[in-house]
Structure 1
Amino acid sequence: MRTSTFARLAAAAAIVALAAPTLAKDAKSGPRYDTFGVDLTTQNKAIKPGDDFWTFANGAWDKRTQIAA
């Protein structure tokens, strides 16, 4: 069974016509960025980094997080 060139063009035009509103909506909204970087709320600043770096970097997180046994 041969598919005619006209049928292929009609199918492609239908796909573009259906996708155009979605593509236009995404282009107007612009890029969205999530939060990234270092989470400073996990630090325990009462500890010096040279004394115990893990506790300095993760001390506040360790105090407020309960890990199930």
Structure 2
Amino acid sequence: MAAGRAPRGTPHRRAARPPPDERPRQRGRLLVRADSIAPAEIRHRPSARDVVAHAARHPDAPPTITQLAINLGVL
């Protein structure tokens, strides 16, 4: 049997992940990275701006996402 694989007949179980609203740091890193790769996508698309604003309003939002929201004028 290969390492890391479940034996046949054993259901594969994924680790439970918290809902997206409970992962503000991960979401913040992703948005800041997206802004560094393709700034126009984050800065000019209304839906992306809404996501940044929503992420920045979370009580546990990292400072980088809050700063990005302030720079975009959505917070």
TM band (smaller chain): under 0.3
Which one scores higher on RCO, CA 8 angstroms, separation ≥ 6? 2
Give the structure with higher Rg (CA): 1
* TM-score normalized by the length of structure 1: 0.25
